Amino acid sequence: MDKRKILVTGIGGNVGQGILRNIKNSGYDIYIVGCNTVLFSAGNHLCDAFYAVPFAYDPAYINEINAIVEKEKIDLIIPSTDYEVYYLAKEKDKIDTVIATSDIDAAEIYLDKFHSALHHERYSIPFAATCLPSTYKGQFENFVAKPRKGRGSRGLEINPKKWDMFPDEEFIIQELHRGDEITTSFYVDKERNLHGHITLIRDLENGTTSKCKVTFDHDRAIEPILKTMIKHSGIKGSANLQSIITNSGDIVPFEINCRISGTNSIRSNFGFEDVKYTLQEYLFNEVPAVPKIIPGVAVRLLMDVIYKNKQDYDQCLDNRSGPYIF
């Protein structure tokens, strides 16, 4: 049998790079194609082939993805960014391969934090109080202005003195709760069952997890929230719920990412292998392995990818260029 081929998008970010490392560590013999909106990034060295593509909202994006699928005979696409999840889910019928995304309704709801808040309110699912800047009248003791779409934890402004500068089309105002921040990654199988979940208490730097530890303390409270979310939207595969644990012990969700999240490279070492589950279900049509969560702590560090005897970045687009880690 020929090698299976996977296209991983957004390989310049920590999400995409974690997915690449997990695929390489999965034990499966897979040819990895990567794509990104810039020609050269830290993820290139993990790919067997690489392509530069437009941003997902560019009209040319789907045609470029289709061209890669046809040329490389791609068996599965795993998107790593919120916008790519949305546009690939929306245009799934136009792409001649399997795409690991939630249904378009879930992708659309959870791409936009204001729509997420309205959806959770409709179905009585816990979520931080949220409104548009034009309707904010000082009703929260502490609040955060944040982009409605994408950007992870970047672009936030806490308790800004003026909020009328934030346009409704691009921002929300959300009540800010103090306490431990947790991220709960969960996997929904093809039968729409909650396959498993893991929760990490984390610290962030520049919008991404810098250190974290596994916690089991909130599993019994979080699981009903996850099951209600699954019941009322077409979430499939991997997703994650971000919440604050208040000083009184309440769980306050404030954001949902309808995709594999940035701690995938960490949590796979603690028994939650959502990238592997994705391969098992969507590439090999297997029942995903049962999660076996163990305690653990992780911290991230900075390392270098070195390409010796190369003159410029365009000579270093994939693993054929002889990279090594230092």
CB 62 within 8 A of CB 47: no
Region 79-92: mean pLDDT is 97
Structural tokens at position 280: 């098992």
CB 44 within 8 A of CB 317: yes
Residues forming beta bridges with residue 297, ordered by sequence position = 213
pLDDT-derived band at 280 (thresholds 50, 70, 90) equals very high
pLDDT at 152 over 60: no
Give me the amino acid identity at 191.
E
Backbone phi and psi for residue 141, each to the nearest 5 degrees, phi listed first:
-60, -40
Radius of gyration of the chain from its Cα atoms, rounded to whole angstroms = 20
Topology (CATH level 3) of domain 4-101+305-325: Rossmann fold (3.40.50)
The pLDDT value given to residue 153: 61
pLDDT-derived band at 154 (thresholds 50, 70, 90) equals low
The pLDDT value given to residue 206: 75
β-pair type (98-99, 76-78) = parallel
Least confidently predicted of 107-111, 247-251, 290-294:
247-251
Torsion of CA 172, 176, 182, 186, to 10 degrees: -30
pLDDT at 155 over 80: no
| Residue of 143, 147, 138 whose CA lies nearest to 166 | 147
CB 293 within 8 A of CB 271: yes
**Angstrom distances, CA of residue 269 to CA of 194, 198, 214, 299:** 20, 12, 11, 13
Place of tokens 């995903």: 288
Average pLDDT over all residues of the chain: 95
pTM of the model: 0.94
Write the pLDDT tens digit of every residue in 130-146. Answer: 999 999 999 999 999 99
**Which tops the pLDDT comparison, 308 or 150?**
308
Torsion of CA 292, 296, 301, 306, to 10 degrees: -40
Structural tokens at position 278: 């994705």
The pLDDT value given to residue 208: 83
Q: In what order do the strands lie in the sheet with 98-99?
A: 49-52, 30-36, 4-8, 76-78, 98-99
For the chain, the structural domain boundaries read 4-101+305-325, 129-175
The pLDDT value given to residue 324: 95
Write the pLDDT tens digit of every residue in 159-185. Answer: 999 888 899 999 999 999 999 999 999
CB 6 within 8 A of CB 33: yes
The pLDDT value given to residue 2: 76
CB 80 within 8 A of CB 47: no
Write the pLDDT tens digit of every residue in 3-44. Answer: 899 999 999 999 999 999 999 999 999 999 999 999 999 999
Give me the amino acid identity at 17.
Q
User: What is the H or E stretch that residue 63 is in?
Assistant: helix 61-72
What percent of the chain has a predicted confidence (pLDDT) above 90?
92
User: What is 93-115 written as a DSSP string?
Assistant: GGSSSEE----HHHHHHHHBHHH
The pLDDT value given to residue 105: 97
Helix (H, G, I), strand (E, B) or coil at 196: strand
The pLDDT value given to residue 139: 93
